Amino acid sequence: KAGVTQTPRYLIKTRGQQVTLSCSPISGHRSVSWYQQTPGQGLQFLFEYFSETQRNKGNFPGRFSGRQFSNSRSEMNVSTLELGDSALYLCASSPGQGRTTEAFFGQGTRLTVV
Amino acid sequence: AQTVTQSQPEMSVQEAETVTLSCTYDTSESDYYLFWYKQPPSRQMILVIRQEAYKQQNATENRFSVNFQKAAKSFSLKISDSQLGDAAMYFCAYRSGMNRDDKIIFGKGTRLHILP
């Protein structure tokens, strides 16, 4: 079974630009969550999508948005990039229903804003 | 709001020895799950072990075991017979069992060094 795939692995953008990151969950998983990891703040929850609907959202500005497609693949978008958006962005996939609790993570996208 | 605290930013242990990583959490919920994740230099987050709050028995996975003290809201990870491959960042994490979403709350992490 293929794992969680995040693309691209590395990205360098300029301040003010926008960026789109992609996450393909494990086949059959309907929940995709996004996390931002920085040395200072650690791992912070961005948002979670289940069956194309956002179920929860973290405390991030509106520049951070996401969506999920009917095949459960998810994208997150950051507009008007700031230097502080430089981080590792991790995507996690899970079945999304029932008592199954394990989340499987992708290898992340390293975003550098210059 | 729930919080997870890891008070040890870094730890070192001699190869083949035992080490315990500490974690405390705060919640008013009765139904929740606790996890330890490992993040090696490859950045891939790997689930090490999980514990359901309603289970009194401590979870064990091979060389990894937890000491779950529900009343004290403590969830420590013990690694026995430490191996070089255990070197990584370890994150303690919490997931509500009462919410419909899959949001996970992470601690700041403990970097574990294995000394040969």
Does residue A105 contact residue A43 with C-beta atoms inside 8 Å?
no
Q: Is B101 on the interface with A (CB under 8 A)?
A: yes
- Residue B107 near residue B3, CB atoms below 8 Å: no
pLDDT at B106 over 90: yes
Using a CB–CB cutoff of 8 Å, tell me whether B36 touches chain A.
Answer: no
Q: Are A11 and A112 in contact (CB under 8 A)?
A: yes
Please give, rounded to a whole number of angstroms, the shortest distance from the CA of A35 to a CA of chain B.
Answer: 9
Q: Round to whole Å and give the CA distance between B60 and B51.
A: 9
**In this complex, is the C-beta atom of B104 within 8 Å of any C-beta atom belonging to chain A?**
yes
CA–CA separation, A10 vs A108, rounded Å? 9
CB atoms within 10 A of CB A15: 11
Nearest chain B residue to A31 by CA distance is: B102
Options 2.60.40.10, 3.40.190.10, 2.40.30.10, 1.20.1250.20; which CATH number does B3-115 get?
2.60.40.10
Q: Can you name the residues that pair with B77 across neighbouring β-strands?
A: B21, B66
- Does B94 lie at the interface with A, CB-CB under 8 angstroms? no
From first to last of its 114 residues, chain A has per-residue pLDDT tens of: 679 999 999 999 999 999 999 999 999 999 999 999 999 899 999 999 999 999 999 999 999 999 999 999 999 999 999 999 999 999 999 987 766 668 899 999 999 999
Question: Shortest Cα distance from B99 to chain A (angstroms)?
Answer: 10
Asked if A67 and A74 touch (Cβ cutoff 8 Å), the reply is: yes
pLDDT tens-digit readout, B46-77: 999 999 999 989 999 999 999 999 999 999 99
How is chain B split into domains, by residue range? Answer: 3-115
User: In this complex, do B102 and A45 lie within 8 Å of one another by their Cβ atoms?
Assistant: no
Q: How far is A81 from chain B (nearest CA, A)?
A: 23
Nearest to B35 by CA among B92, B99, B109: B92
- DSSP letters of chain A? ----EEE-SEEEE-TT--EEEEEE--TT--EEEEEEEETTTEEEEEEEEETTEEEEE-S--TTEEEEE-TTS-EEEEE-S--GGG-EEEEEEEE--STT----EE---EEEEE-
Q: Which chain A residues touch B89 with a CB distance below 8 Å?
A: none
Structural contact between residues B105 and B94, judged by C-beta atoms closer than 8 angstroms: yes
